């Protein structure tokens, strides 16, 4: 509730700024962000477009517009918006990263990889780009490359729980179960309520034949999410 109050206050502030300052692109862009923060994506899009009409070379507004289109399910329009941002500002790492996400969502893995690599060339310490590059490599069967990218993401941000989970998954796929188990445990140490990582740890225990530990971890999953049908099934037949 407190967070919602802050977001609504932010929206009111930018509505007031736009009303008082007239046609200024940055005001409309900020108002769009405020609408996006409270989930009013259509209103966010209207304001980003207003910002771009006033300032056609406003790369940030195009990037924000892309995010809003993506949230609304218009991935093609999102791609166009990110490409526009990049044409205006070629070294805009976040736009290249977002473009990679959109390409990945559309199934264009080669383009996604190239976009992530470009983002990393511009900003080598971009942990999220390394993580998503790792996911793209993993999806195309390049497990060794995926591991390398997840490790780099973790080196940049040692508290990047998602990267630890993804690294554990890569080790699991490669059959490196001890590494997978250790990595999942590190992720859980930082985020004990992460259901997905706990489930993955349980599956790694099961694959390794550590049935008692697997059942214990599946029970932890069910404490966090009693409706998890997969965990229920695994507990009923843990050795299968």
Question: pLDDT of 86-100, one tens digit each?
Answer: 999 999 999 999 999
213 with 177: CB under 8 angstroms? no
Is 49's pLDDT higher than 70? yes
10: pLDDT confidence band, cut at 50, 70 and 90? low
28 with 51: CB under 8 angstroms? yes
Task: Give burial (CB, 10 Å; 0-12/13-18/19+) of 77.
Answer: middle
232 with 222: CB under 8 angstroms? yes
In this structure, the chain runs to a length of 240
Task: Give burial (CB, 10 Å; 0-12/13-18/19+) of 4.
Answer: exposed
98-150 confidence digits (pLDDT tens)? 999 999 999 999 999 999 999 999 999 999 999 999 999 999 999 999 999 99
The pLDDT score that the predictor gives to residue 235 is 85
What is the rounded average pLDDT of the residues 154-167?
Answer: 98
Within 10 Å of residue 19's Cβ, how many Cβ atoms? 10
200-216 confidence digits (pLDDT tens)? 999 999 999 999 999 99
The pLDDT score that the predictor gives to residue 5 is 46
> Smallest Cα–Cα separation from 202: which of 234, 237, 164?
234
């Amino acid at each position: 509730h407190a967070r919602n109050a802050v977001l609504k206050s932010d929206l009111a502030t930018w509505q007031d700024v736009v009303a008082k300052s007239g046609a200024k692109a940055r005001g409309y862009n900020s108002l769009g962000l405020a609408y996006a923060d409270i989930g009013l994506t259509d209103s966010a899009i209207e304001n980003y477009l207003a910002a771009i009409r006033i300032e056609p070379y406003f790369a940030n507004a195009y990037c924000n517009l892309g995010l809003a289109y993506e949230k609304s399910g218009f991935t093609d329009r999102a791609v166009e918006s990110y490409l526009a941002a990049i044409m205006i500002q070629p070294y805009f790492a976040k736009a290249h990263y977002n473009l990679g996400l959109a390409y990945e969502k559309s199934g264009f893995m080669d383009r996604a990889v190239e976009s992530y690599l470009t983002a990393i060339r511009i900003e080598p310490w971009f942990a999220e780009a390394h993580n998503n590059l790792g996911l793209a490599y993993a999806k195309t069967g390049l497990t060794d490359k995926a591991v390398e990218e997840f490790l780099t993401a973790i080196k940049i941000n040692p508290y990047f729980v998602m990267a630890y989970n993804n690294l554990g998954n890569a080790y699991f796929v490669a059959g490196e179960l001890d590494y997978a188990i250790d990595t999942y445990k590190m992720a859980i140490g930082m985020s004990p309520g992460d259901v997905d990582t706990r489930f993955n740890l349980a599956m790694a225990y099961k694959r390794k034949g550590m049935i008692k530990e697997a059942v214990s971890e599946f029970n932890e999953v069910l404490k966090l999410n009693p409706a998890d049908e997969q965990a229920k099934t695994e507990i009923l037949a843990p050795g299968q």
